[in-house]
Amino acid sequence: MGKDPKKPRGKMSSYAYFVQTCREEHKKKHPDASVNFSEFSKKCSERWKTMSPKEKGKFEDMAKQDKLRYEREMKNYVPPKGQKKKRFKDPNAPKRPPSAFFLFCADFCPKIKSENPGLSIGDTAKKLGEMWNSSSAEEKQPYEKKAAKLKEKYDKVIIQNDMEVKLVDLIEKLPNEHKKSTPSPSALFPKAGTFCDPLVVLSCNSL
């Protein structure tokens, strides 16, 4: 089955926007000149590497707005009959924060592995579970406190992301003369934080 013409256009990276701008500038200066693609790409790459974060900021803002546009359109996209809609997963979305038990495992897993080098992952997990269950409320408190803070931070980021999507949607509905004076979402919201991988307990098997 061919590509669905109604499917939302894929999101562009900040570098892709930069290359697009370079191509447009080159076309304006040399409208009749042919472009050597490999040479042009090489020059763009070299120029991008020497640019300051401030110079790249414009393209990063464009990419961020396009990412939000893509997320919004994918949520509303209905594939043709016979095709299953893939569950949209944002690769840049913050990871779910670890639970108090996972934080506990991250602390004690290396110790168990060093004391029992031949122990399997299943037995290690079982031992960690027994240790957690036998721990007092006072011993669990530091992990529960840390997990609660990470959860609170995660919830704020999720709310922020939803607000950004709604803001971009609102900006796009504004008349063109008002869009230029409207700040970008990245100027209104701080960058999202990142979190520990909840599966950290499994990584101890490679220690």
Domain containing 201: what range? 100-206
Per-residue pLDDT at 52: 93
Residue 6 is assigned to a structural domain of this protein: no
Q: Is the pLDDT of residue 59 over 90?
A: yes
Residue 19 in domain:
yes
pLDDT at 4: 74
| 143 is a domain residue | yes
Question: pTM to 2 decimals?
Answer: 0.41
**Residues 50, 105: one domain?**
no
Q: What is the pLDDT of residues 126-142, one digit of tens each?
A: 888 888 888 888 888 99
Average pLDDT of span 119-125: 85
Please state, for a pLDDT cut of 90, what percent of the chain lies above it: 18
Residues 40 and 109 in one domain: no
Residue 81 burial (CB count, 10 A): 5
Q: What is the pLDDT of residue 155?
A: 83
d(CA 131, CA 116): 15
**Number of domains comprising the chain:** 2
The arithmetic mean of pLDDT across residues 83-95, rounded, is 62
Which one, of 168, 186, 184, 196, lies nearest residue 71 by Cα?
168
Tens digit of each residue's pLDDT (9 = 90 or more) over 20-49: 888 888 888 888 877 777 788 888 889 999
52 & 104 share domain: no
Among 2-6, 93-97, 102-106, whose mean pLDDT is lowest? 2-6
Q: 37-50 vs 14-29: helix axis angle to the nearest 10?
A: 120
